[in-house]
Structure 1
Amino acid sequence: MYITRQSLRTIAWSTLALSAARAQFVIDNLSFGQKEGVYISPDLRSIPHFVVQGINDYVPQVLSDRVILTPPYPGNKRGSIWAQDPLHQRDWTAELDFRATGMERGGGNLQIWYVRESQAHETPASLYTAPKFDGLVLVIDQYEGRGGSVRGFLNDGSVDIKSHPHPDTLAFGKCDHAYRNRGHLSTIKLHHTAGFLEVIVDGESCFKTDKIKLPEGYYFGVSASSAENPDSFEVHKFVVSTTDSHTREEPNKQRYANADQHQEQQNIAAQKAHEQQTHRQQQQQYGSSTDQNNIPKLVEDVLAGNIKTQQDQFADLHNRIQIINNRVANMLDIVEQMHQLNEQRFNDLMHRIVPIDDRSAATIRNVEKVERTTMEILRDLESKDFKDMLQQVHRAIENSQEGLSRTLPLAMGAVVGSHKPSLLLFLFIAIAVQIMVTGAYIVYKKRRNGAPKKYL
């Protein structure tokens, strides 16, 4: 089949138009990861408009481009992400990009929830451990050992699935999907319109039914749980979009977006009355007194679309300009007061610094005197000749040495002579020693002669 350039151009423009329309109607406060190059978490701890939670002291890890609901190790962990705002559209599409990795026989499951407020934001649980819930849950697990499957379950709050003897028989639709260790992301879409609900896996229809109609005001959530041999579930993107451009959610929209219009009209009327009263007070203040301290109260914020007439627009603008003028005048007064106070403090400080200068001058003068005295002493030491003094010291040492040489031998001789032993003492000692030796020899001989004889 031959395709002309004009046909290709038409297809390209149609594709761009559809992409632009889809991007235009993304519900930002129910989505994350839909913007390329933008972190899903500004602080790597939380996701705007979502609640990230776990159990048993475990909190899912939030990274720049993904959320790890269950870790690779250890097992038996549970984590979940719940939207803080409900969905108020009848026609919508929820798209989830995830990845599951683990060991060869790892186990775990992933759930996509769309339930009532009373069940949202609770402790994360799987289908088999969840209490009675009201809404839809899409389960991705290894059902029947086929490598993976996607199944849908409905509940109106009356069926306790965890106590059911055969909970797998309650599924209204299923298909096979090998989601583990694929090396790339898996994409699951839930497309809901007024006529049918369809589940699409990786661009192919999984199951579709026209017997289900989900109500508005329910909450989206994604939960995962791992077994003893764990699977790690990572969520990279969750995008909720709608084709209704008039009623789609806006970022930071409050939970009760469909509040009573009568209350809004009352708020607008009270705002106008407050503005008129403020205007009258301003006129009275400026007409009777120029005191800038009586600043009128701030005008409450109001949407531009709520101001219909030119008179209301002029009144609002006039009030805000006068409030700004009063604020600026008050700031000028505060700045003037601060300037005067700082000037007074400066003058006081300068007065206190003057005595310090006097003491510093006296200290400098004392230091100069010490320096002059030191220089004089140094000059005196350098100018005098110490040769005569050194010669006198040398001569005194020589005289002392000569005196010691003459007197020391005499003194030593006298000491030795006075304390030396006498000759008679030496003779007495020698004779005594001879007598003792002779006596000892005689005693020895007697004992030897008196001892018994030994014969061989």
Structure 2
Amino acid sequence: MKVPASFLLLSAVATAQTVIESSSFGHGAMVAPSREGIPGWDIGGEGHFPQILSNKVILTPPYPGNTRGYAWSQTPLSQSEWAAEFQFRATGVERAGGNLQFWYAKDGKEKVGSASIYTVGQWDGFALVVDTHSGRGGSIRGFLNDGTTDYKSHRSVDSLAFGHCDYSYRNLGRPSVVRVKSTNSIFEVTVDDKPCFATDKVAIPAGNTIGVTAATPENPDSFEVFKVVLQTASSPVGKAPPVQAQNTNQQPRAAQPQGNTQQEQASSNNLGSINAQFVDIGSRIQLINHATNNIIRELGNQASKSETRQSELLQRLATKEQIQGLDARLQRMEQTLLSIQRDLEGKDYRDRFNQLHETLRSSHQSLTENLKDNVLSVITASTPRMGFFIFAIIAFQVLLAGSYVIYKRRRANMPKKFL
């Protein structure tokens, strides 16, 4: 049976996937042309600025903790059907923690920024969360929001997940590969080529922005992102029928070149895996050097602080001369007290006290007698005389009577007026 070439061409075009460059990084030879930034992406953080290396982006460092990092695409995704490949790695001590989010959100940088699923407010879109939920070894969960639910103030954010699967992602020594596919017919998530969860009831519109955020507690995990690749996708329309060989005699001839090709591919894959392991070891050594430099810097800061405190304490302490002067003063005070004690013990002051008591009593008695006489004489001398007082009253009455008589006489002698 012959298959038309036009049908094969249409099938290939229908199933072909094109990388969306504006929302992808890490699919080329290097993550970015320089360590200053990734073209088309906004990089930032809190307490730490993400480090851009040749093959990955370190969103949160292994030291210190309580840091956040984010990477947001500057261009919204115009395709309604897409497929994303997200490669990350998480390393840390035994009881370290943190969470990593893959976002497809509207106005992601403005509405989400560096927030995690537990600290974000009202947002619109899809979030894939990687963390150690409920004390398990690790899990991957999916969240949806239409902009009406405030996750930051919600009582139980974990109950809002619409899909999840268990996945131990910490300290694997290799990148974990997460793929998200969103089409009109299905929404599915796979981890390391194994299905995580899928549903046909979710359809996310176009116009949202791709982003990655990470947050760590006091004992942090180091989250590294190797690749974020967005590709166009389409709903499955069925597989093309297999092409039947026209000449069976050519099959034995083609078998040997195919075997050689498989051997070459296997050897190239081995070389690629070895190179990837070397790159991984180099990146780990860089992380160890970075953490060691941070520890040495902190130790140097602590040493300088200790020296400063020691110098301040030495300045506050008394000098040898001051201590000697204080000792001399104490010795003089001790000698004075001893001399006073000897005087008090060697002399009898009873007669002196009796004389003092007698003197005070005689002084008090004489003062009391003199005070009585003086007070009586002062009162007597200052008392007004009664004769003078009576004379003044009588004189005033006589003066009033004389004035009245004179007034009557003058009035009687005045000429009378007749009307």
Q: TM-score, normalised by structure 1?
A: 0.47
Cα offset, 1:123, TM superposition: 3.0
C-alpha distance 118-138 of structure 1, shift in aligned 2 (>3 A): closer
1:60-89 Cα deviation digits (max 9, x unpaired): 001111000000000010000000111111
Does residue 67 of structure 2 align to residue 77 of structure 1?
A: yes
Picking from 176, 189, 214, the partner of 1:199 is: 189
1:293-342 Cα deviation digits (max 9, x unpaired): xxxxxxxxxxxxxxxxxxxxxxxxxxxxxxxxxxxxxxxxxxxxxxxxxx
Q: Distance in 1 between matches of 2:150 and 2:187?
A: 24
Residue aligning to 1:117: 107
Residue aligning to 2:30: 39
Secondary structure, in 3 states, of the residue corresponding to 1:163? coil
Residue aligning to 1:139: 129
Picking from 204, 210, 230, the partner of 1:214 is: 204
Residue aligning to 1:189: 179
C-alpha distance 177-238 of structure 1, shift in aligned 2 (>3 A): same
8 Å CA contact 1:119, 1:134 repeated in 2: no
Secondary structure, in 3 states, of the residue corresponding to 2:158? helix
Cα offset, 1:121, TM superposition: 7.2
Amino acid at match of 2:114: P
Write out aligned runs for 1:118-267 (5 A): 120=110, 122-243=112-233
8 Å CA contact 1:51, 1:121 repeated in 2: no
8 Å CA contact 1:69, 1:233 repeated in 2: yes
Amino acid at match of 1:50: W
8 Å CA contact 2:60, 2:223 repeated in 1: yes
* Sequence identity (%): 50
Cα offset, 1:119, TM superposition: 5.2
Does residue 53 of structure 2 align to residue 66 of structure 1?
A: no
Q: Distance in 2 between matches of 1:229 and 1:19?
A: 49
Secondary structure, in 3 states, of the residue corresponding to 1:47? coil
Write out aligned runs for 1:12-51 (5 A): 25-35=18-28, 38-51=29-42
Q: Distance in 2 between matches of 1:217 and 1:109?
A: 26
Q: Distance in 1 between matches of 2:98 and 2:80?
A: 32
Q: List gaps (5 residues or longer) in structure 2.
A: 1-7, 235-419
Residue aligning to 1:442: none
Q: Distance in 1 between matches of 2:153 and 2:112?
A: 19
8 Å CA contact 1:90, 1:216 repeated in 2: yes
Q: Distance in 2 between matches of 1:72 and 1:27?
A: 32
Q: Distance in 2 between matches of 1:31 and 1:133?
A: 22
1:213-235 Cα deviation digits (max 9, x unpaired): 10101000000011111000000
Cα offset, 1:128, TM superposition: 0.4
Q: Distance in 2 between matches of 1:34 and 1:108?
A: 26
8 Å CA contact 1:119, 1:133 repeated in 2: no
Write out aligned runs for 1:346-365 (5 A): none
CA-based RMSD: 2.3
Residue aligning to 1:108: 98
Q: Distance in 2 between matches of 1:85 and 1:141?
A: 27
Write out aligned runs for 1:295-314 (5 A): none
8 Å CA contact 2:183, 2:233 repeated in 1: no
Picking from 36, 48, 54, the partner of 2:45 is: 54
Q: TM-score, normalised by structure 2?
A: 0.52
Q: Distance in 1 between matches of 2:91 and 2:12?
A: 34
Write out aligned runs for 1:255-294 (5 A): none
Cα offset, 1:162, TM superposition: 1.6
Cα offset, 1:161, TM superposition: 1.2
Q: Distance in 2 between matches of 1:31 and 1:243?
A: 15
Secondary structure, in 3 states, of the residue corresponding to 2:148? coil
Q: Distance in 2 between matches of 1:118 and 1:95?
A: 19
8 Å CA contact 2:69, 2:213 repeated in 1: yes
Q: Distance in 2 between matches of 1:21 and 1:136?
A: 25
C-alpha distance 132-207 of structure 1, shift in aligned 2 (>3 A): same
Amino acid at match of 2:24: S
Amino acid at match of 2:32: S
Q: Distance in 2 between matches of 1:19 and 1:124?
A: 38
Secondary structure, in 3 states, of the residue corresponding to 1:69? strand
Secondary structure, in 3 states, of the residue corresponding to 2:60? coil
Cα offset, 1:118, TM superposition: 6.1
1:110-133 Cα deviation digits (max 9, x unpaired): 000011126557530100011110
Q: Distance in 2 between matches of 1:118 and 1:178?
A: 28
Amino acid at match of 1:127: I
Amino acid at match of 2:33: P
8 Å CA contact 1:53, 1:81 repeated in 2: yes
C-alpha distance 178-219 of structure 1, shift in aligned 2 (>3 A): same
1:103-162 Cα deviation digits (max 9, x unpaired): 001010000001112655753010001111011111000001120000011111111112
Q: Distance in 2 between matches of 1:118 and 1:65?
A: 25
Q: How many residues align?
A: 226
Secondary structure, in 3 states, of the residue corresponding to 2:149? coil
Q: List gaps (5 residues or longer) in structure 1.
A: 1-13, 245-456
1:215-273 Cα deviation digits (max 9, x unpaired): 101000000011111000000000000136xxxxxxxxxxxxxxxxxxxxxxxxxxxxx
